[in-house]
Every structure is written in structure tokens, then in C-alpha cells.
Amino acid sequence: MRGVKIGVSLAVAGVVATGASACGQGDGGSADPGEGGDELTPVTVTLNWVPYGEHAPFYYGVEQGIFEEEGIDLTIQPGNGSGNTVQQVAQGNTDFGWADTPPLANAISSGMPVKSVGVFLQTGPSSVEFFSDQQITEPADLVGKTVGGTPGDAMYGTFPAWLEINGVDPADVTVVNVDAAGKIAALIEGRVDAIQGFHHDQAPTIENQTGTQVDALPFADFGMNLLGTGLVVNDATIEGDPDLVEAMVRATSRSFLEAADDREAAVAAMAEGAEQAPDENVLAAQLDATIELLGLDQAPAPSVNTEQQWVDTLTFLSENTDFDGAVTSTDYWDGSFGEDL
């Protein structure tokens, strides 16, 4: 198998300022009339990171009135890693989170009262990224290389197992610990040969900064596909306001589907709606790569998962990482909100 060629330009993602929280557990904010005169429910969603192209469908859905049609007045907030986002959902500081599945599974196994209500990136974006002049085409080419990784994130924990299932002794690859915000700089400055990262986000960013082609070895192309990012909600919200959860899942799914069909408008909506958003060329590249990971040719809707997908992800984490939770899918995922999509 060959690495992914990333041949599009990108820029550094910036922090978005979205204004005051409209979290449903807070003061409720202002409510505007929705369809049929109904009031809109203020809802916050906290992203897994600062806004990048994967998040464009949220901004598109707001701009197009999709969330309003479901009775939702949506506020989009930047995140600081999936683990932190899940914690914010667990603590009731945000209504919904957008988070990666492995950190979510670890959080639930540690006792946090949250669940996934649908993973959208059904092909995980975890990868090893590098400049093309490294001539890396398979995991074995990483032997003797230095790879930047961030302790505590999903890729750092699964990287050794990914090497092993591809016949590479992890001891033969040097992992250099770097802060999440410093990985790109470490690669550009030559302090590492490659970095662990989400190829649909970081690779185009690096190309835009350097003008140099970036390639990637997606984990999913080499024997390890784990469910990626999706919607997370507190158990109390599922129990106390299932109609809101259903509306949020439906609106988000529709936003992703329509954004996939109108990518230029989705990019424009995010460029307008997110302060300090990446360059529009970057957004377009990131969104295109995101859509390839949604599995739209397999699932009836972006957020619809199967029990087998969850069991496979949890089993891999249990057998190959320090994850010690059960592998019962319903402990981590409530798929009932996608049944009618």
C-alpha cells in the first residue's frame, strides 16, 4: 500500500471567538421564534480543536438555517483536544461535544457520564505525516526515523500497536514528545522526520506554510481503522431531553450531507462565521479530505454507525492500548437517534 499524497495548500488554523456560551444548562440566552412560532433552544457545541475544515458543515448548517429548522439556536465553540471537550460535556459546561472516539472511550471507562450519539468520521484520520522527500511509503520505512507525538492523545497511544501489526518493532522508531500545538513546527524545523496527526487537517496546513508536498500513512490504510470524530452528549441530556438530542443529530447529519454537495458554500460559510478561520484554500482542502472519511457510500447518513464498528474499535483499544474498559458498545454509544435518518 502507498501513502496518501496531500497536494493542496493550507494555512494555520486560528482560534475562533464565538461569543458568550448559550449552553442549555446555563442562563438559556435569548430565544428567537422558530418555524411555526416555536422558540429556539440555545445550544452549544464545543469542537475537538480550533476550527478547521472538518467543522465547516456546522457553520454551513447555521448559515443555511438547518439548525433553526430543528428548533436549535447553535453556538459553535473552539476546543482544546477531544479529551478536554468530553470533560466539558461531562461537567455540563457545553450541551454537545465534537470529539474523537478513543479519548471518549477512555473517558467513559473512567466514569464520565457521556455517550456518543453518532460518529461521523467512519474512517479514522489518524496518520503519520512527513515531507515527500523522506520517501516513506510504508510503516517499515519509519525504522530509524524520529516521529513527533503528543502524550495522552489517541495517536500516541495507538502508534506502537500500529507499528507492531505492520511488522515493525516500536523500539526501532524514536518517538519525540512534543506539545500538540508544536508538532507542525517540529516537522517544519526539521526536529523530527515525521509527526503523528490527523492528515485531513495538518498536512494541507503544512503545505500552505512551506510550499512543500506532504505525504501521509493513514493508520486506516495499514490495518488499523478506529472510529473518528462525532457528537457526544451527557447521559442526563439523553434521559431528560431526547427530543433535543434527536434534533441535534438530525440537523448535524443534514448539514454534513448538504455541505458535501455544496462545498464552496460550506467553505464560504465557515470563512464568514469563524473568526481567524484558516485560509479558504485550506478550508476547501480540509473539507474535501473530511468528506472522504464520512463513508457516505456505505452508511445511510453520516452519523449512523453499526454495533460491529464499535465492537471492532473497542476491541482493538482493549487488546493493543492501555484502555481497560468493557467492549460492550452500548456503554459508549446510543445509536437510537440515527435510526430514522
The SS3 call for residue 148 is strand
30 falls within a domain: no
Measured CA to CA, the distance from residue 279 to residue 292 in angstroms comes to 20
Q: Could you tell me if residue 246 is inside a domain?
A: yes
Structural domain span for residue 46: 35-123+227-338
Render pLDDT for 109-148 as a digit per residue (tens, 0 to 9): 999 999 999 999 999 999 999 999 999 999 999 999 999 9
One domain, residues 131 and 118 = no
Q: Do 272 and 329 lie in a common domain? A: yes
Which domain-ending residue is among 197, 222, 247?
222
Same domain, yes or no: 130 and 185: yes
Q: Which of 125, 128, 127 is nearest to 193 (CA)?
A: 128
Query: If pLDDT is split at 50, 70 and 90, which confidence band does 318 have?
Result: very high
* Centroid of chain to Cα 237: 22
pTM: 0.88
| Amino acid identity, position 340 | D
Which of 222, 240, 264 marks a domain boundary?
A: 222
CB hemisphere CA count around 227 (13 angstroms): 33
Tell me the pLDDT of the chain averaged across its residues: 89
Say whether both 286 and 322 belong to one domain: yes
What CATH number should be reported for the domain holding residue 135?
3.40.190.10
pLDDT in tens, 166-216: 999 999 999 999 998 899 999 999 999 999 999 999 999 999 999 999 999
Residues 51 and 95 in one domain: yes
**Residue 23 pLDDT level (bands cut at 50, 70, 90):** low
- Whether residue 231 lies inside any domain: the answer is yes
Question: For residue 231, which of 95, 109, 53 has the smallest C-alpha distance?
Answer: 95
User: How would you label 21-33 residue by residue, b for 16+ Cβ within 10 Å and e otherwise?
Assistant: bbbbeeeebeeee
Grid coordinates representing 337 are 437517534
On whether both 113 and 256 belong to a single domain, the answer is: yes
Average pLDDT of the residues in 279-292: 97
Share of the chain above pLDDT 90, in %: 82
Closest CA to 248 of 99, 111, 120, 96: 96
Whether 116 and 71 map to the same domain: the answer is yes
Task: Give the pLDDT of residue 153.
Answer: 81
Q: Specify if 21 maps to a domain.
A: no
Question: Are 251 and 329 within one domain?
Answer: yes
Find the range with the poorest average confidence among 87-91, 134-138, 288-292, 316-320.
316-320
DSSP letter assigned to residue 116: E
The answer as to whether 215 is a domain residue is yes
Per-residue confidence (pLDDT) for residue 30, from 0 to 100: 35
**Under a CB-based contact definition with an 8 Å cutoff, are residues 88 and 154 in contact?**
no
Domain shared by 147 and 199, yes or no: yes
Same domain, 169 and 201: yes
Rg (CA), the chain: 19
Cell of 303: 452519523
